Amino acid sequence: MLIAVTAEAPALEGAVSETYENCRYLLIVETDNASFSAYENEGVDSLTECIIEADCEAVITGSFHPDSFNKIADAMITRYNGQGCTVAEALEKMDRNTLDYIRFATPGETCGSGTGECNCGEDHD
């Protein structure tokens, strides 16, 4: 399975970036054998295009600006918050299902705060 990770260094020991848009590198990691390709950030559109073209299952980053979040979400790519971890630690936590999902573009937003119908199954009363 291919996972995209925004990183501050082109290595598994590098820190996960605080934000998707301002990362220094994008790592596309093959989780079956921990091999990866590293790409310098040449702009948010090229990051997103690279992730979609590689057919990544998920993105691990810190946070997204709304436009980037929407493009990734519209492509049906799962988003995880790996801030504070190295790339390797974040991948391990994802594998153990202990990384938090990034469900909304704006931190603190909930299903009940936006427009439209909530279908997440959580009680927001």
Task: Read off the pLDDT of residues 16-42 as tens digits, 9 standing for 90 and up.
Answer: 999 999 999 999 999 999 999 999 999
* Residues 51, 28, 5, 91, CA torsion sign: positive
Q: Which CATH number fits domain 2-113: 3.40.50.720, 3.30.420.40, 3.40.1000.10, 3.30.420.130?
A: 3.30.420.130
> Can you give the pLDDT at residue 123?
53
Selection from 69, 51, 78, 56 nearest residue 107 by Cα = 69
Chain-wide mean pLDDT for the chain?
Answer: 88
Cα→Cα distances 57→29, 51, 60, 96, 123, Å: 11, 9, 10, 16, 28
> Can you give the pLDDT at residue 11?
97
Q: Per-residue confidence at 124, pLDDT binned at 50, 70, 90?
A: very low
What's the average model confidence in pLDDT over 69-93? 96
φ and ψ at residue 64, rounded to 5 degrees: -125, 150
List of residues 6+ apart from 67 with CB closer than 8 A: 44
* % of the chain surpassing 90 pLDDT: 81
